[in-house]
Every structure is written in structure tokens, then in C-alpha cells.
């Protein structure tokens, strides 16, 4: 079998035994990229010469020594481009520093592969909001790969790379993983440093891995998790060993099925695949319990107030003075700001900035932003109540499989499809998407556990995967 189709753990075993070298892995990956990347469009930049040079220097004694990993193009790697899928940063920005996860992956011996496409500033669910290129779904050509980490999911699904990093603010790791048939994990808020991730909505953003197996997700989480004093929201708590309980199975675990996530609009194929997975968990000895998360219906509206509010503030730094695009020959400083932003941002980013500025403006702040914060608390409490009855919650990731490219004309349709992933970010919980065995378009199962209980989440995910 080509090394390009192997998991991180399988590649590590071969490297450690001395049966292969990091350059052998690259030979197979570059062969795949060379033959299919023109049809997929996963990468915004890729420098084979530098990747090969880095692989030759990889320290194989480290946990990810010699393993190529792709980065979503909103995570800073010193000296690399970091376009965020935006014209604003595509022209001339180079990262002046490493993100927290970048440092940890360097220390772990990983070989930094290409930089992957995304919706502009991670705002979207299809990667169609990238200002730079389209990305096709390798598992379902002509369909979206999901988003916003669509390039990362596509790169793993296409066997261009065994693992990639993504970011998840409202589902952007889990939903593309589900649509492309790979594993995608969003860690608990505070588990992984956000330092050097270009901020979209700071109270929701988390970085996490996209991989081919649950075991690989655990391996990478092990390397990127932990306290970072450069991110004030990063938690100063111990990182457990994510491999010890991985294969313990689900016997005796109580699994909650939230009735609100199985509403009428659910696609029949998603419903069938999800129910089959739940039955499998039951057969493995888990106790399945119906639960309620009563404020679910308010989650999308709440998120689409809070996330744009934070984005409008975060994106004010793109003013044409310090970073990226600058309008030529502005009449004065105000027109420098206005024209740089007018020319640099795409329509979805502008929509979010306008929405966010509106809900924060005096007179509307209490009606919208403050109200949304209160509802966010109710959504978090729904989960806290549920976790007094169950150990974990299982649900669909998205109400339907990947739609066709170019099929969505009203952004609201995509917003509404975030219904199963958004509540998890509002509550700061960990969640994972695991591919289910289906004949048609890929479908993932979402597993949600209490805050910092990634080990339990991975253990259940492993049981689903090894079906
Ligand atoms: N689809 C959601 C949005 O457009 C989530 C994006 C994300 O998680 N980065 O905001």
C-alpha cells in the first residue's frame, strides 16, 4: 500500500523500525498531490523543496518525528504565508512568529506540509467563501468539502497528507471532516493554545486535528494540548495520556441522544447512519438514554450574534496600516481605512462585520448582544444538566451530507445547517466527528463529552470507528 494512505501511527511504527525514511513518505504524498491537486485545490501554498529539507532534519525520536502535517492557512508559522483565504493578507503578509501549536508541533518533530484553503477568515461552511480558490470534495467530486477547514479535510481525504490542523468556531473542523469522511476533533475551549491563530471569534475558536483515525487524533492532541502563557484563555491543567483508555470500549457508559438534534429536517441517510451507530454502541454494552437540550433552537441565532460581534472587533486590526492590503493613493487616513477594507474583504466577511457592529452598537447592545450572552448561559446549562444523567452525547454532525458546489444562494441556508455543531462551541465542550460506514456521500457521527473529557470522547469514537 502507498505510504500516502497510511495513518500517522502506522507511519510512525515504520519510521521507528527504520523500515522507511521521512523522504519515502514524501515521495508517495507528492505523487498523489502531483496527480490530483489540480482537481481538488486543497492547498493555497506548498513548497516541496522546503518540505523535503525539513524532513531530512526531522528528529525521529520525537512523538511525531517525520510525520507531515498540513496547516489551515489561518495558523501562523514563522516565515510562511498566512492568507486566511483573504485578499487582505494574500498579497504580502508573512508570519512574523510561530503560533503556540506550531511551536509544539515543531518540538514534536512534525514536518510542516502545505497550507490549506479555508473560507475567508474561517467564516463559512463550504470553503466557497475563500477569496483565493475553490476546493473540491475528494470523497464526493462536485460537492463541497465543507468548511471552513475544507482544505484540511480535503487534503487528508485525498491522501495528500496523513493529518492536518483546522480551527473550529462553530463546527469548522467537525463539519468538513464529516463531509469528507475523515476524523475531525474540536478540543475543549482552553485545552489548546489559540496564540497565533488569526482570531475570528475569540470566545469560541479552538484548534484541532483532522486525521484518518481516532488514534491519530489522540496522538496529535497529545502534542498540541497544554497550557500556554501567551493565550490567557489556555488552561493551566495537566494533560492526561490520551492513549491509555482509547481501546477500553463503551461497556457500561451512558450515552445521551438529544431529541432536538433529530428534528424533522434531518436527511434520511444521516438519520439512518446515526441510528445504526447508536445501535452499535448499544450492542457494545453502552446504555442509550434519550435526553433533552431544550434551548437548542436558539443556538444558531445566538451564535450568529456573538461570533460576528467578536469578529467585528477582531477584524478591526485589518486597517491597511499594519497588515496586508493597503489601498493605493488614499486621499486621507479615513479613506485609507475605508478603501483598504472595501478592497481587501470579501462579501461574507463584510456581512459579519456589519452584523457584529450593529449588535454591539449602543441602543442594540442590550437587545441583541447581551440577550445572546444570556441565552448562551442557558445553552451551557442544558449540557451541564444532561451530563448529570449521561457520560456522553451522540448526534449527527450536520443535518445532511455535503451539498453540491455552488448550490447555496442564501447564506442563511448554510447558517442553519450549523445547528448540531454550534451549541458545542457556545458551551466550550470537546466534540469529534467520526466517519460512519455508509455507501453514499460521507456522514460523520458527533460525540460530545463534558469539559476536558477528551479521553472519554476519543474512547467512544474509537468504538464507533472499529465497527
Ligand atoms: N459555519 C460557521 C460560520 O460560518 C462556523 C465557522 C467556523 O467554525 N470557523 O461561522
186 is a catalytic site residue: no
Distance 280 CA to ligand 1 centre (A): 31
Look at residue 233 in the predicted model and tell me its pLDDT: 97
Q: Indicate yes or no: pTM above 0.85.
A: yes
Catalytic residue selected from 172, 178, 395, 433: 172
Atom in ligand 1 nearest the alpha carbon of residue 172 = 8
The answer to whether the peptide bond before residue 148 is cis (omega within 30 degrees of 0) is: yes
**What total of structural domains would you count in the chain?**
1
Look at residue 19 in the predicted model and tell me its pLDDT: 98
Torsion angle of alpha carbons 257, 260, 263, 265, nearest 10°?
Answer: -110
Element (H, E) at 427: helix 422-427
Look at residue 409 in the predicted model and tell me its pLDDT: 83
Residue 185 DSSP class = E
Q: What angle do CA 160, 198, 452 make, to 5 degrees?
A: 80
Look at residue 63 in the predicted model and tell me its pLDDT: 98
DSSP β-ladder status, 431-435 and 183-186: antiparallel
Look at residue 273 in the predicted model and tell me its pLDDT: 98
| Ligand 1 pocket member 222 (CB < 6 A) | no
| Ligand 1 pocket member 418 (CB < 6 A) | yes
Residues found in the chain: 467
Walk along the chain (467 residues) and give the pLDDT tens digit of each residue. 899 999 999 999 999 999 999 999 999 999 999 999 999 999 999 999 999 999 999 999 999 999 999 999 999 999 999 999 999 999 999 999 999 999 999 999 999 999 999 999 999 999 999 999 999 999 999 999 999 999 999 999 999 999 999 999 999 999 999 999 999 999 999 999 999 999 999 999 999 999 999 999 999 999 999 999 999 999 999 999 999 999 999 999 999 999 999 988 899 999 999 999 999 999 999 999 999 999 999 999 999 999 999 999 999 999 999 889 999 999 999 999 999 999 999 999 999 999 999 999 999 999 999 999 999 999 999 999 999 999 999 999 999 999 999 998 899 999 999 999 999 999 999 999 999 999 999 999 999 999 999 999 999 999 999 87
Place of cell 466550550: 428
Atom in ligand 1 nearest the alpha carbon of residue 204 = 8
Q: Residue 192's beta-bridge partner residues?
A: 225
| Ligand 1 pocket member 168 (CB < 6 A) | yes
| Ligand 1 pocket member 152 (CB < 6 A) | no
Look at residue 323 in the predicted model and tell me its pLDDT: 86
Rounded to whole angstroms, what are the CA distances from 57 to 29, 51, 81, 111? 18, 10, 22, 9
Burial of 130 per CB tally in 10 Å (0-12, 13-18, 19+): buried
Residue-number span of the structural domain to which 262 is assigned:
1-467
| Ligand 1 pocket member 184 (CB < 6 A) | no
| Ligand 1 pocket member 122 (CB < 6 A) | yes
**Ligand 1 pocket mutation pick from 75, 127, 147, 424 by most atoms within 8 angstroms of CB:** 147
Catalytic residue selected from 7, 72, 159, 167: 72
CA distance 133 to 151: 10
Look at residue 408 in the predicted model and tell me its pLDDT: 86
316 is a catalytic site residue: no
**Ligand 1 pocket mutation pick from 86, 123, 128 by most atoms within 8 angstroms of CB:** 123
148 is a catalytic site residue: yes
Catalytic residue selected from 95, 148, 193, 433: 148
| Ligand 1 pocket member 356 (CB < 6 A) | no
- CATH number of the domain where residue 176 is located: 3.90.1300.10
Amino acid at each position: 500500500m502507498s505510504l500516502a494512505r497510511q495513518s500517522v501511527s502506522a507511519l510512525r511504527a515504520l519510521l521507528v523500525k527504520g523500515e522507511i525514511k521521512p523522504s519515502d513518505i514524501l515521495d508517495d504524498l507528492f505523487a498523489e498531490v502531483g496527480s490530483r491537486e489540480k482537481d481538488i485545490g486543497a492547498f493555497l501554498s506548498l513548497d516541496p523543496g522546503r518540505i523535503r529539507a525539513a524532513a531530512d532534519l526531522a528528529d525521529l525520536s520525537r512523538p511525531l518525528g517525520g510525520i507531515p502535517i498540513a496547516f489551515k492557512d489561518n495558523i501562523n508559522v514563522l516565515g510562511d504565508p498566512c492568507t486566511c483565504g483573504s485578499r487582505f493578507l494574500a498579497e504580502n503578509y508573512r508570519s512574523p512568529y510561530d503560533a503556540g501549536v506550531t511551536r509544539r508541533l515543531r518540538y514534536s518533530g512534525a514536518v510542516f506540509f502545505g497550507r490549506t484553503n479555508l473560507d475567508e477568515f474561517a467564516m463559512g461552511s463550504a470553503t466557497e467563501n475563500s477569496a483565493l480558490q475553490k476546493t473540491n470534495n475528494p470523497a464526493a467530486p462536485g460537492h463541497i468539502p465543507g468548511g471552513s477547514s475544507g482544505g484540511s479535510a480535503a487534503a487528508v481525504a485525498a491522501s495528500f497528507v496523513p493529518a492536518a490542523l483546522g480551527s473550529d468556531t462553530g463546527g469548522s473542523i467537525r463539519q468538513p471532516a464529516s463531509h469528507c469522511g475523515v476524523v475531525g476533533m474540536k478540543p475543549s475551549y482552553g485545552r489548546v493554545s489559540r496564540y497565533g491563530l488569526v482570531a475570528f471569534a475569540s470566545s469560541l475558536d479552538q484548534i484541532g486535528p483532522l486525521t484518518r483515525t481516532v488514534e491519530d487524533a489522540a496522538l496529535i492532541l497529545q502534542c498540541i494540548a497544554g497550557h500556554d502563557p501567551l493565550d490567557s484563555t489556555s488552561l493551566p491543567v495537566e494533560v492526561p495520556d490520551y492513549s491509555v483508555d482509547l481501546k477500553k470500549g463503551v461497556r457500561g457508559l451512558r450515552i445521551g441522544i438529544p431529541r432536538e438534534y433529530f428534528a424533522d429536517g434531518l436527511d434520511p441517510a444521516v438519520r439512518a447512519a446515526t441510528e445504526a451507530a447508536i445501535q452499535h454502541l448499544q450492542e457494545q454494552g453502552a446504555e442509550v438514554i434519550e435526553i433533552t437540550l431544550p434551548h437548542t433552537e436558539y443556538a444558531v441565532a445566538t451564535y450568529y450574534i456573538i461570533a460576528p460581534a467578536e469578529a467585528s472587533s477582531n477584524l478591526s486590526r485589518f486597517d491597511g496600516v499594519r497588515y496586508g492590503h493597503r489601498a493605493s493613493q488614499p486621499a486621507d487616513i479615513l479613506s485609507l481605512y475605508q478603501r483598504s477594507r472595501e478592497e481587501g474583504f470579501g462579501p461574507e466577511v463584510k456581512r459579519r462585520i456589519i452584523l457584529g457592529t450593529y449588535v454591539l452598537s449602543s441602543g442594540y447592545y442590550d437587545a441583541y448582544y447581551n440577550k445572546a450572552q444570556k441565552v448562551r448561559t442557558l445553552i451551557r446549562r442544558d449540557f451541564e444538566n444532561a451530563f448529570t444523567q449521561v457520560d456522553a452525547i451522540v448526534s449527527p454532525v450536520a443535518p445532511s451530507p455535503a451539498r453540491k458546489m455552488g448550490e447555496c444562494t442564501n447564506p442563511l441556508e448554510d447558517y442553519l445547517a450549523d445547528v448540531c455543531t454550534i451549541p458545542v462551541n457556545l458551551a466550550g465542550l470537546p466534540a469529534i466527528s467520526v466517519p460512519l460506514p455508509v455507501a453514499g456521500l460521507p456522514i460523520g457521527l458527533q460525540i460530545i463529552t463534558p469539559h476536558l473529557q477528551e479521553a472519554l470522547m476519543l474512547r467512544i469514537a474509537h468504538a464507533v470507528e472499529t465497527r
